[in-house]
Amino acid sequence: MLGAIQIIAFLLFVVFIVKGIIDIFRKKKWRKSFIFSLISFVVFMIAILNDPTLDTETASNETKTKSSQEEKKQEEKAEKKEEAAKEESEKKDSETAKKETEKTSEKATTTATTKTATPKAVQHGVKAKVVRVIDGDTIEVLMDGKQEQIRMLLIDTPETKHPQKPVEKFGPEASQFATETLKNKTVGIQVGKERTDKYGRVLAYVWVGDTTYQEMVLEKGLAATAYLYNDLTMLDEFHKAQDIARNKKIGVWSIPGYAHVDHDHGFHYEEEKKAEPATAPKPKPAPKPEPEPQAEFFQNCTDLRTKYPNGVPSDHPAYQAKMDRDKDNYACEQ
């Protein structure tokens, strides 16, 4: 607060200033007025500088300033702590979210793996159930919700149901072995490089656990390796299994010339003709008309082609149904 001296000195300063300005306009002596005005201003300033109240206010203002600065500092510290707490909280939330995401991802991966593994409950190929055994090398399975006929790759078993062939030796045994080993069982179907043959049958390896059925039937001597036009992936393994039966001379290998390795002309052999007992010569019969040409017999297509390179039609004496594999009424054509 301003004191009395300060007020009086300030009023005198104002009065003399005004008076000096008026004297200038009236062209009177104005210097005295400005001198007294200057003296009044000096007194006013001295009074202010020596006023203890001013010091108190200044100190108070300084204290307030310091207090406000400290408050600001405290507020800044509090804000920094809050920001640090927020950052730490966000970091924790982020790590928690990341862990939850990883857990969710792991669960999803596990679920996906389980779903992927479900169709392949067997170790090799696609899971399938055998619903019918047709013969030793052909079965019907339920696979992927569809019934498929499976022709086993790289083996051939003697015929039991061929429309133009009699039941061949060891054919029933091969069919019986397939029935006992496969019927109503769950197997693995591994489709070959070519999916089907010309009859629409799926060409595949049939897995029973860690072993193919082909190896099992070859080892028993109830089949031979054949049909090399398709997939040779497991031919070496099949040869090893087949050699066991060949060395033991069991099954189809017990009859000389009956089975052949890696051929596709089936099973066949020629029984030795029994010698007829000697009899007295018979009188020559009366001449007869020329008989129809007698059938010519050849062991296989290779043998037939030595005489008929281009094969023979169905009405030819050398024609044999077993050599006409594509059933087009022409045997051993090139």
The residues assigned a catalytic role are 151, 159, 201
CA distance 178 to 162: 17
For residue 281, the one-letter residue type is P
The encoded tokens of residue 8 equal 């009086």
Q: Rounded distance, CA 207 to CA 127, Å?
A: 10
Backbone angles phi, psi at 141, to 5 degrees: -130, 160
- Residues 197/226, Cβ–Cβ less than 8 Å: no
What residue type is 216 in one-letter code?
M
Say how far apart CA 139 and CA 204 lie, in whole Å: 11
Indicate the SS3 state at residue 219. Answer: helix
How far is residue 20 from each of residues 14, 42, 44, 150, measured CA to CA in Å?
Answer: 10, 17, 18, 131
Backbone angles phi, psi at 138, to 5 degrees: -135, 130
Q: Helix (H, G, I), strand (E, B), or coil: what is residue 91?
A: helix
* Pairing verdict, β 202-208 and 146-152: parallel
Scored b (16 or more CB within 10 A) or e, 180-202 reads ebbeeeebbbbbbeeeeeeeebb
Matching residue, tokens 């594999």: 325
User: Is residue 148 within 8 Å of residue 141, measured between CB atoms?
Assistant: yes
Tokens standing for residue 275 = 């010698």
